[in-house]
Each structure stands twice: as C-alpha cells, then as structure tokens.
A and B are shown apart, each in its own frame.
Chain A
Amino acid sequence: MESQLGLIEQSLNSSYSLWVREALDEIPDNFTITDPCICGHPIVFVSRGFLKMTGYSKNEVIGKNGRVFQGPKTCRRSVMEVREAVREERAIQLNLLNYRKDGRPFWMLFHMCPVFSKEDGRVINFIAVQVPLSRKARRSGSVFCRNGVILSGEGSMINDVVYGSCRKEVRSDSLLELGPVLALDSALDSDVTELEIEEPCEASDLDKIRAASAINRVLSVLTHYSESTGRLVCGKRCYLSALGLLSSSLTISLGRIKQSFVLTDPHLPDMPIVYASDAFLKLTGYSGQEVLGHNCRFLNGEDTDSSTLYQIEESIKMEQACTVRILNYRKDKSSFWNSLHISPVRNASGKIAYFVGVHMEESCNDQGGRGLSPEMRQLSTVGAVKIAVRSSSMGAGSSKS
C-alpha cells in the first residue's frame, strides 16, 4: 500500500507534471489545492502567501484537511455550506473565520472551486483562495453581517452565503415568500457599533474580484500544465461521456468508500459494471475503462468453480445477498481467492437499482481494519453503498439549481 504522503506527493505530479509547483509558487495569492480523490481530502499544495498569512510551515499544512484552520468560533453553518459545495462539486464564496497557527482568528473571504478532468468530468482538485478581510467601517449598500445572519443592505435580498451559493438568481425571488427574514432588515436599522470577532466582517466587491482573479490565475496554471501530461483539466464540468453511467453525485459519494467493490446494473443487458472503486482496480489490475460496461465474468478463469457461479446467479435472481469464496483472476492472469459478498442495493424509490459486489482478497484480510473483521468491513461497505445510492437518488429540489 502506498503511503498517504506518497499519494499526496504524486497527486500534483501525475496530473500536472513536476514543473507545476514552480509556476504555482510564483502566484502571490493565498491559496491551497486539495485532492478529493485521496482519503481525507488533503491539501496537496499550499502557496507561500497562505503560509505567511497563517504562520504555518509547509510540512504542517500539506496532507491536512482544510478544516484544521477552523476553530471554536468558526461558524458551523458556514462549514456545512463548504461541505455541501464539496459534495455537490460546485464553487462557493463566503466569509469564514479561520485561525492562524498562534491561535489568532481572522476573517477571510473564502472562494473555492472544483477543477474537472476534461476526459471524464471527474473532479481532480479543489482550489481554495483566501482573501483576508480587514475590519472596516460599514459602508452603505454593501453586504453586511450581523450576528451570524448575513444580510444585504439593499432591501430584501439575502446574501449568497445564507443560502449557500454564489448564484445571484436565487437571491431575490426567494425571500418574499418567507416573511420573517424581511423583518431582520429592520433590525439592522438599529445601528451596530460593537463588533466582536464572531461577527463577520464584510467582503468588498474588490475582495471578491481579487478572490476570483486568484482562482483564475491558479486555474490557468493548472490548465496549462495539464497539457504536458495529457490529462487535461478545466474549470467547468464537461459532460461525462464515457463514464456517464451514474449520476455525478453518486459517483462522488461512492468515491469516498475506500474498499474494493463494483456496482452492476441489473436493468442493463448482461448486467454490466457501472462503477468500479479504485481499490477494485488495484486488486484486479484492470483500468476503469477496461471493466466499465462489462459483466463481472472476466474475473473468472478455468479453475473457477461453476457451482459457486451458479450460487451467485441464484442469489441475484432471488434478489438476495450472498457471500461466497471464489477463485478469481487478475489482468495478469494470476489468481486469488476472492471473498465476495453480493447484495442488492435499492434507490430512493425503494426499487433495486444495482447489485454491489464487495471483493476482498483472502490473504489481505488483516490490513488496516484495526480489529474489524473482514466480514464486518465487507458489510460496512455494503451499508455505505446503500446509503450513497439511496441519498443521491432522493432528488434535490432545494437550494440547488
């Protein structure tokens, strides 16, 4: 198994070549780049400006999740907004209270956006720019915050942050239906003189422009260097062409499950694989392209027991879960004993949408489980997949477009 640090080191190199760091280092802004494909969604690049701003050294930041900069006074609701933006793979801009290494909190404008692979539309990285905000006197007409509720000075519009999106169009129409917030504007009329650190300070239009242009600078470096590796990236999601078998939100949720598993679709002819986890590809030696769209039978070989295959078939027919021990073959023809668990997985309408197959090589059973038996880990993968499929098919009507 590769070490976490190794993965982090490789993350940028493999997408953007070795030389990208130098170019990124020349960008003066405060930013980090994270890799959502690595467990824990760690920071894989940090700018010098960011280190100077926060007082951390590079080694203290690389490999950490961005939440290490949050502290007790960071608004949890804002944290949720960022989390949902990551989950939905969209950009977000909001004011956030972060902490320096010495423990001093500071307000900054946080602007994050995903970087997509041009090839398959997956999110390769997130760029997060931070523009520190200084506390200035309130200016009329600009976005203003009070007591954690962020309001606009101009009549009845709610600031983007409240409803967690950078899109202007959701702002104006939504408020009038739900009266009470309107009243909050009048609360603003009683002027606010005392500002505590918890009370967000304002981001001027200039700050917002500064953040957006920093994002563009980083993005253009990444785009440029992705050409050298042939793994092109872009700031806008391209359509999922080859891998467009699952919704992107499901793909994201499944991507968080680190075990070796595949999803197959019983409604398609010959029940092909529609999702294969990285651990599965590693276990079997195939690439994603080689397995997607194919029935799982390519794992079988001449010594695979046909009665076991029959047993699997029957369980699928009966829509029941089953566990078998089956001899499977890797791409390089080497065989391994696969402790295979198969279970139906239902979507939000309660219908069976997929079957999940959790593959576990028998000899590897002791790795990383810290006391959870292989059977338990297998079942927990089934559980995690069931939740991912159910939740991602619930249909989102709310604050999403």
Chain B
Amino acid sequence: MMLRIKRVPTVVSNYQKEEAEEDRVGGCGRNCLRSCCIPGSKLPLYAYKKLDKVACAKGLPQHESGEAPIAFLDSLVLGQWEDRVQRGLFRYDVTACETKVIPGRYGFVAQLNEGRHLKKRPTEFRVDKVLQPFDENKFNFTKVGQEEVLFQFEASEDGDIQFFPSAPIDAENSPSVVAINVSPIEYGHVLLIPRILDCLPQRIDRESFLLALHMAAEAGNPYFRLGYNSLGAFATINHLHFQAYFLAVPFPIEKAPTKKVTTLDGGVKISELVNYPVRGLVLEGGNTMEHLSYAVSDACICLQDNNIPYNVLIADCGNRIFLLPQCYAEKQALGEVSAELLDTQVNPAVWEISGHMVLKRKKDYEEASEENAWRLLAEVSLSEERFQEVTALIFEAIASADNGSKDLNEEQEAKPEATDEVKAINNSSHPAIVAGTQECLVLQ
C-alpha cells in the first residue's frame, strides 16, 4: 500500500508552475540557475568564518572575541529581502497578514494568511517514504529566477568573514545559495539550498546540516531560526532545502521545559521536551559546533534511514536544536485525523510544531486558543511508546557514530535508566493528555 495525502503545495518561487506547464524545453530566457543561464551570471557572495568553538570546551569565551560588532549576515538578509519586497517579487505582503500571540502560558503565535495557498490545486503527495530520489521533471530550485536568489553562502577560504557584492557563480563547485520564498510566512522568509546544482533530494547529510548551523550562528540573531521538514513531514519540494525567517518573539517550543537524558562524549547534551504537545529531543552544547552538528545530523540520518518523518528547528543562533519525529501525514493518509482538524488545512510542519501557527481561515484565526493549538499538535506527536522506540534508535545511531567509543558502554547504561524514568513520568501524565485531547475534540 502506498500512503498519499492531498494538499495544496506551497508556491515558493514565481517560476513554480503547475506541473503540467512545467516542461518547457530549450532556451529558457528567464535567468535561472541551470546551465543555460549560469555562464556570466553573478550573485553576491557571503563567506563565513569557520567558528572555532573548541575553546569553548574549556569555557573560554573565544568565540566572543572575534565576533563582528555588526551582525553582518543579519543585515544582508534583511536588506536583500526588503529589496525584493520593493521589486514586487512576493505573492503578497506578509506584513499585511494579521498576527497575534495567543493568550496562554506558552504564547502560541497565530497568523491569518488567506493568500498563501490560493491559486493552487491540491496535489497528491506520497507520505510514506521519507527518502525519495530527486526527480528532474518536478519543480526544483535550479528553476528559480536569479532575482529570487539573495546571495551565495559558503565557508571562507582564509578564515575571515568576506563579502563580495557581485561574484561569479562557480557551477563546478555547486554553490549553496539563499533564495526568497515568494510565499513567506514571516518577514525575511528564505530558503537555504545547499549545493544547489548538485540537485540533492530532501535528505540531511552531515555537511549540509553543518552549513545550516553556520547560517544560524552567523546571523547571530536568536529570532532568526532555521527549520527543516523531511518528506512525509510536510516538505513539498524534494530538493534539499532549509527555511528561515525572522519572528522577534520566543517560540513556545523554546519555552517548554526539558529533561536531560544524557550527555554525549563530545559534550552535546540531549534532553527531552516535557509538557509540550509534540514529543521531541533537544540537543545543545557540544565542545565544538561540529560535535553538535554531527550529533543532530546523525540522528536525522537515522530517522530518514528508518523511514520516520521528522522536523528540525535550529534555534538560539544554532545553539539549541529541536528534533521532532512526527506521524501526522501518516495518520492523515490512514484517515485517522478528525475532519475538524483537517478542515483547518493547517499542515503541521516545523513552524507549526514550534508554535507558530499559520491559519488559512479567518474563523480559525479568531478562535485560535492554546487548547486548539495544543490539540492539533498532539495529533502530530508520536505516541509515548513509539517515541521511546524512536529515541532508542537515535541513541544507538549517535552512540555508534560518536567518536569516543570508550564511553559507549556508559552511554548504553545511561540510556535505559533515562528511558525508564521517562516512562514512569509519562505513565502518570499520559492519560491526562489523552483524556484532554478527546474531550477537546469538539471544535467551537
């Protein structure tokens, strides 16, 4: 059996046509990022300094000393984005969309966005395969116009931040680029597309995740977060990309209490979200940025290899990463999601899971409440039992990849203890959630 859901795909580029119109062959003439248009083309280039966070391991604030006083990347994204606003490249003005913090303890954020999904017919998406091969015939980011690309983003050769307002596109080296999302859900909504010309499918690898982490660290703005949706967890384009935007309020998921599970050899602390509707892991710390990055990407690789859909939120300038396996699309395909929830047409991807709910109907916006948000997100979460299974898989994968194999035993010993404890906690808490969910299923 193949699981599919129907949903309206998000239009991220002005060159993203209905699939039927897509097959235009030959001289393209729209200044895209394929071999037809690249020769002679130039784009700004931002080269980031490879942070040496090793010093942090000893608690020395080395990373601070070299920090640029002006948040350069931050300004670059803002300036370039506003430039595209004034050039009229977006489908709507996202700052004209009403938004509010929903009263309640967590401060869920609701936005009414009636325009984002108009003009599109629902398309079928296969949701039971997290890894699917890249399909040249479908829309991908090499087809966007160059005017939608803000800049190239790469590691600096000489270890210093560098910026070139106009640099040739080196097709041989397949640059990573930052492009606008023409259907933004907040100001500054961009896509980071690692090695765009390599046409990688939506699938995390160590190098690409590290790139995303660098972008979060370089921007240095805790309100500029990056997110990732796997296939089956509401990614609509099977071309490797991360998203990011500015929202200057804390996200509910960032406020959720956590409970430490273990600390890896490389200093990465792994905690579990407690008292949040979606079960998930929080990874932070690490002796170097690489330690943290590899721990997260190894966990992601484990999830995708095991065909478990997931979302990732990179918060706090790359210092805190939330990893959220989910099963909503699967439930949806199996007909297990209530009609009321489906009617809202909210696709619970990384932003929604983090507590930023983009609503399509005025009614839902006006009635938005912490309970409603909680109820939707509770459907997204794995069950406690499944979550513990998945967590066990992840720990196994990370532990075997963790460089210091000497602590492997310790790691494995620590794990069951933690798991038992979590179970003990949730044995008593879980029924409360379930009861609440069922009771609340009647939408006002």
Contacts and interface: CB of A to CB of B under 8 A. Distances in A.
Given A105-B59, A180-B433, A184-B425, A73 B100 contact: no
B82 A383 contact: yes
A147 B414 CA distance: 13
A100 interface: yes
B64 A65 contact: yes
Interface string A363-384: 0000010111101111110111
Interface in B245-263: 246-250, 252, 254-255, 257-260, 263
B188 A383 contact: yes
B258 A180 contact: no
Contacts of B98: 348-350
Contacts of B165: 371, 373
B187 interface: yes
Contacts of A345: 95
Contact of A387 (B60, B246, B271): B246
A6 interface: no
Nearest to A77: B258
Contact of A371 (B163, B319, B421): B163
A177 B17 CA distance: 47
Nearest to A80: B254
Contacts of B86: 321, 343, 379
B285 interface: yes
B232 to A, nearest CB: 27
A206 interface: no
Contacts of B76: 372, 376, 380
A398 B425 contact: no
A71 B63 CA distance: 10
A69 interface: yes
A184 B432 CA distance: 13
A65 B65 CA distance: 10
A141 interface: no
Interface of A: 4, 39-40, 64-65, 67-73, 76-77, 79-80, 83-84, 99-101, 103-105, 147-149, 158, 162-164, 174, 178-184, 186-187, 190, 196, 198-199, 253, 258, 321, 343, 345-346, 348-350, 368, 370-373, 375-380, 382-384, 386-388, 390-392, 394-399
What are the 7 A-B residue pairs with the smallest beta carbon separation, nearest first? Answer: A398-B107, A397-B103, A99-B59, A179-B432, A383-B78, A180-B429, A380-B79
Interface of B: 56-61, 64, 68-70, 72, 74-76, 78-83, 86, 93, 95-107, 109, 163-165, 187-188, 222-223, 246-250, 252, 254-255, 257-260, 263, 267, 269, 271, 274-275, 284-287, 316, 319-320, 421, 424-430, 432-433, 436
24 contacts: A4-B69, A68-B61, A71-B60, A72-B56, A77-B255, A79-B319, A80-B316, A99-B60, A148-B257, A158-B257, A163-B105, A180-B429, A180-B430, A180-B432, A183-B426, A187-B424, A370-B72, A375-B83, A376-B80, A387-B78, A390-B187, A391-B223, A394-B109, A398-B255
Given A147-B260, A258-B70, A394-B249, 15 more contacts: A71-B56, A76-B284, A148-B257, A162-B257, A183-B426, A187-B425, A196-B263, A343-B86, A348-B99, A372-B72, A376-B75, A394-B109, A397-B101, A397-B103, A399-B105
